[in-house]
């Protein structure tokens, strides 16, 4: 059971670090503005779908999950 506790603490620290970075404004300039992200702005309408940003985040989370599994 101590292994599970260790993993939970590590995941909690990672989530807290990512939250602190986002809260501080890190990545505000490029996050969601990568080539391939869909931004449509009209007079009374805005649509934003960060396709490439989601793919990059998914790849990073998959890599981290793979590393923790070993």
pLDDT value at residue 59: 93
pLDDT value at residue 66: 85
pLDDT value at residue 70: 66
pTM: 0.56
Same domain, 40 and 70: yes
Compute the C-alpha angle 63/27/49, nearest 5°: 75
Containing domain of residue 2, as a range?
1-27
Is the pLDDT score of 3 beyond 90?
no
Report pLDDT digits (tens) over 19-67: 887 777 776 676 667 788 888 899 999 998 888 888 988 998 899 888 8
Same domain, 65 and 39: yes
Domain count, the chain: 2
């Amino acid at each position: 059971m101590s292994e599970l506790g260790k993993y939970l603490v590590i995941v909690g620290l990672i989530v807290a670090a990512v939250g602190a970075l986002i809260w501080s404004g890190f990545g505000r300039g490029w996050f969601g503005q990568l080539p391939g992200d869909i931004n449509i702005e009209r007079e009374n309408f805005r649509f934003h779908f960060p396709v490439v940003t989601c793919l990059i985040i998914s790849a990073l989370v998959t890599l981290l999950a793979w590393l923790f599994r070993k």
